[in-house]
Structure 1
Amino acid sequence: MYFSFMTIELKLSDDHRVKIFKALSDPTRIEIIRTLYNANKEMACGEVGEICSVSKSNASYHFRTLREAGLIIVRKEAQTKYTKLDKVTFQNYLPGFLETL
């Protein structure tokens, strides 16, 4: 019984790893992560998009991919969306990665 639970837990963890690496396989998303890391603060999604020279619709796609992988946290305040890195995910799955940017 315990083994089955561990197998499911490892499978979920592996699925999360796949999402993370797929999200990081795009140069634009790496640039978004780098921008957020260098800013070291929450930023408006539009501001990040401008810095990375990404159109609004394209930026929305990239932010969604990063959010679904657990790499960023997005919150909405009125009409503006703000984002920041989810450092816990980086610490758990990619320790030292952010420092290489």
Structure 2
Amino acid sequence: MGGMETETSARPAPLPQPAREDLRLEVVMGALSDPLRMTIVRRLLLESDGYDHTCGWFELDRPKSTLTHHFKALREAGLTTQRQYGLERRSRLRSEDLNARFPGLLDLVAAWEPAK
């Protein structure tokens, strides 16, 4: 499956990200204030099946530089973890860490519907 790694496959170490205990609600909420980033997090939450995904998996009609900016913002806020596989970065939602620090937050993301 293109753009994904199974849980049992060897994976590179994550790129720099805040530790679970350093996650800050205002930073997480700031990252989620952008509808595109909310869409990314929601798709990871509801559709990722425990895989690391490339930005191509999301099928977002945005320039690569724009997507790179948004994925970096999500990682730096602590919402996602990213790993470098050769020339591509793959993302995964930090569900366990987010649920531990902010119970109920991901339920709100799952219930969110983008404006039409």
Which bin holds the TM-score, normalised by the shorter protein? 0.7 to 0.9
Aligned residues: 87
Distance 2:63 2:100 in 1: 31
Q: Which of the pair is proportionally richer in helix?
A: 1
TM-score (norm 2): 0.65
Structure number with higher relative contact order (C-alpha < 8 Å, ≥ 6 residues apart): 2
* 1:59 match: 67
> What is the correspondence of 1:35-54 to structure 2 with a 5 Å cutoff?
35-37=43-45, 38-40=47-49, 41-48=51-58, 50=59, 52-54=60-62
- For structure 1, list consecutive stretches of 5 or more residues without a partner in the other structure: 1-11
Q: Give the letter aligned to residue 67 of structure 2.
A: A
Q: Give the letter aligned to residue 24 of structure 2.
A: H
Q: Give the letter aligned to residue 53 of structure 2.
A: M
2:27 counterpart (4, 12, 19) = 19
Is 90-99 or 30-39 further displaced after alignment? Answer: 90-99
TM-score (norm 1): 0.73
Q: Give the letter aligned to residue 77 of structure 1.
A: Y
| Cα deviations by residue, 1:15-73 (Å, 9 ceiling, x for unpaired) | 8222111001010000000111122222112322x2x3332111111111100011000
- Aligned CA RMSD, in angstroms, stands at 2.0
> Is the Cα contact below 8 Å between 2:54 and 2:90 reproduced in 1?
yes
Aligned-pair identity in percent equals 31
1:97 aligns with 2:101: no
